[in-house]
Amino acid sequence: MKSKLFALCLALAAFSGPALADGDPDAGARKAVTCLGCHGVEGYRNAYPSYHVPKLGGQHADYLVAALKAYQNGQRSHQTMQAQASQLSEQDMQDIAAYFAQEQ
C-alpha cells in the first residue's frame, strides 16, 4: 500500500505544479557537481554492473526531489544514489532539482 501511494505521489508531482522546485538553481549548480559525473554524460553506461544512467536535465523538479527522498529513506534501492542522497538536506534537494529542471 505504501509503495502504491508513493508511486501515485510521484506521478502527480510529475504532471502538476511549477517546473522549478522551491530551490535556487544557481546554488543547485554548485551542489550538483557530483551528480554530473554520471548524470551529465550523454549516453553514459556503467561497465559493471551494466545499466543506463538517466540524464536529469529538463526533468520535473518535484519528481527529482521525490526520487532523492526515496533514495534517502530507502524506498529506492541503489547504493551509490542512497549514499549521495543520505548527505543532502531538504534545501540541497530543492536546489539540485531546480538546477536540473532548467537544464536541457
Domain count, the chain: 1
Residue 18, SS3? coil
Q: Can you give the CATH number for the domain in which 7 is found?
A: 1.10.760.10
Q: Along the 104 residues of the chain, how does pLDDT read in single tens digits? A: 555 545 545 554 554 444 445 899 999 999 999 998 888 777 666 665 566 788 899 999 999 999 999 999 999 999 999 999 999 999 999 999 999 999 87
Instruction: Provide the H-helix boundaries in 1-104.
Output: 2-15, 25-31, 33-39, 61-72, 79-86, 90-102
The rounded distance, in Å, linking the Cα atoms of 80 and 76 is: 11
Q: How far is CA 14 from CA 18, 22, 65, 66, 69, in A?
A: 10, 15, 11, 10, 15
Set of cell numbers at residue 14 = 510529475
Which domain, by its residues, includes 42? 2-102
pTM (2 decimals)?
0.74
